[in-house]
């Protein structure tokens, strides 16, 4: 990626980046500003990602940030992944979550749990051309993820999976699905197993796309498994250990969602700041009034606190240190920050903030999902409380 003609980046104080990280952030920002921003409105109205944007995400390496070089990836860090997710969300949260889920959930699951043959077969595909999705949620299993009812029946040389998955991000674009089913309902969570399911497998189909409040260009679909035939060699990890795959993968995924919410807040704040320096009332820009300046200052503080939480969680993960509590804190606080900042941005725009001709109402709509997916705010509080009580 070239770094030419990139808007000036703000100094984030204690969140110091290396020269390599700064260059990477700048290259992602250039892509987001130059290629994504002009297409945001069209993608929002169409309710789907532009195929050219998907292609460019692969070509620029954004779909394989942490993937090892031997499998076609960049062999980089989760920190660089969250920098990319943040910068994309600053322009469009739908593109951001598309890249986020592919990297922090799907690729991460393969890196941690796939055997050598599975890595050789699937990771180059995920790095270069085939989108991934993570299929855990069902109608009866949201926060209680292990209440899933999708069944996997051993048929000798393959399993047959039957059930329905809901709320699957990238459902329409994906061709490789990390899918969870139980081989033994009586065993509870110890029966849950992770499978690598391909879109073309017999008995697999994508159902309806949800009509959502926000992140509308991101496809959120149901998946239908009707005696879907999955080869035995496509078990990801061990039979009965799917609960470990899901828990440990989602722990990293929460840092990605934190970065997405951070980007949303940053984008809303920048839009509001610019508007207050242009909009005139009573013979001067509204940014000249102390009351408005104080609101912008509160927004800036909230964003910086969020950035510190998200970056810290990512640094801990890269350093191989415990990060579960910090990831939960980052996700909890960032989702609240994104809502607060985008809501305040609407107010600073006044009536214009409430209409779709201006950008801030979209930031607010996109922010709401942050307190829901990949672990609700209540689940994050439960995790934090459990860990601090230890």
**Could you give the CA distance from residue 212 to residue 214 in angstroms, rounded to a whole number?**
6
- Does residue 178 contact residue 133 with C-beta atoms inside 8 Å? yes
Take residue 184 and report the two structure tokens written for it: 């033994």
**Residue tagged active-site, from 30, 87, 138, 374:** 374
**Could you give the CA distance from residue 202 to residue 228 in angstroms, rounded to a whole number?**
5
Nearest-CA neighbor of 181 among 123, 228, 116, 126? 228
**Could you give the CA distance from residue 214 to residue 54 in angstroms, rounded to a whole number?**
19
**Could you give the CA distance from residue 137 to residue 148 in angstroms, rounded to a whole number?**
7
**Could you give the CA distance from residue 355 to residue 271 in angstroms, rounded to a whole number?**
14
Examine the residue annotation and report whether 374 is marked as an active-site residue of this protein: yes
Take residue 380 and report the two structure tokens written for it: 């994050």
**Could you give the CA distance from residue 311 to residue 316 in angstroms, rounded to a whole number?**
9
Longest CA–CA separation in the chain, Å: 79
> Residue 288 has what DSSP assignment?
G
> Residue 16 has what DSSP assignment?
-
> Residue 9 has what DSSP assignment?
P
Q: What sign has the CA pseudo-torsion 269, 274, 276, 279?
A: negative
Task: Tell me the catalytic residues.
Answer: 374
């Amino acid at each position: 990626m070239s770094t030419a003609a990139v808007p000036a980046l703000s100094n984030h104080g204690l969140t110091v980046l290396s020269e390599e990280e700064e260059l990477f952030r700048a290259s992602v920002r250039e892509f987001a500003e130059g290629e994504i921003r002009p297409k945001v409105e069209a993608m929002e109205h169409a309710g789907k990602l532009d195929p050219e944007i998907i292609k460019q995400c692969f070509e620029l390496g954004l779909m394989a940030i942490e993937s090892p070089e031997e499998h076609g990836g960049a062999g980089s860090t989760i920190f660089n992944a969250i920098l990319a997710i943040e910068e994309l969300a600053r322009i469009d949260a739908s593109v951001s979550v598309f890249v986020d889920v592919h990297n922090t959930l799907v690729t991460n699951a393969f890196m941690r749990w796939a055997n050598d043959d599975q890595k050789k077969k699937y990771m180059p595909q995920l790095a270069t051309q085939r989108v991934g999705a993570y299929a855990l949620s069902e109608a009866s299993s949201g926060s209680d993820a292990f209440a899933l009812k999708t069944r996997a029946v051993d048929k000798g040389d393959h399993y047959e999976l039957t059930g329905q998955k809901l709320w699957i991000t990238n459902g329409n674009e994906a061709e490789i699905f990390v899918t969870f089913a139980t081989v033994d309902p009586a065993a509870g969570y110890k029966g849950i197993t992770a499978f690598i399911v391909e879109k073309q497998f017999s008995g697999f189909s994508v159902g309806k796309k949800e009509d959502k409040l926000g992140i509308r260009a991101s496809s959120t679909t149901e998946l239908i498994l009707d005696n879907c035939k999955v080869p035995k060699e496509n078990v990801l990890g061990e039979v009965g250990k799917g609960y470990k795959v899901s828990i440990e993968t989602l722990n990293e995924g929460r840092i990605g969602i934190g970065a997405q919410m951070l980007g949303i807040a940053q984008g809303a704040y920048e839009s509001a700041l610019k508007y207050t320096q242009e909009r005139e009332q009573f013979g001067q820009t509204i940014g000249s009034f102390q009351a408005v300046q104080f609101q912008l200052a509160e927004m800036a503080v909230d964003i910086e606190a969020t950035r510190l939480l998200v970056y810290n969680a990512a640094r801990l993960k890269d350093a191989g240190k415990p990060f579960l509590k910090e990831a939960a804190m980052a996700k909890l606080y960032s989702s609240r920050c994104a809502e607060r900042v985008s809501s305040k941005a609407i107010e600073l725009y006044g009536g214009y903030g409430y209409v779709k001709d201006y950008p801030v109402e979209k930031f607010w709509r996109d922010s709401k999902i942050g307190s829901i997916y990949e672990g609700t705010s209540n689940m994050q509080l439960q995790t934090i409380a459990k860990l601090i009580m230890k």
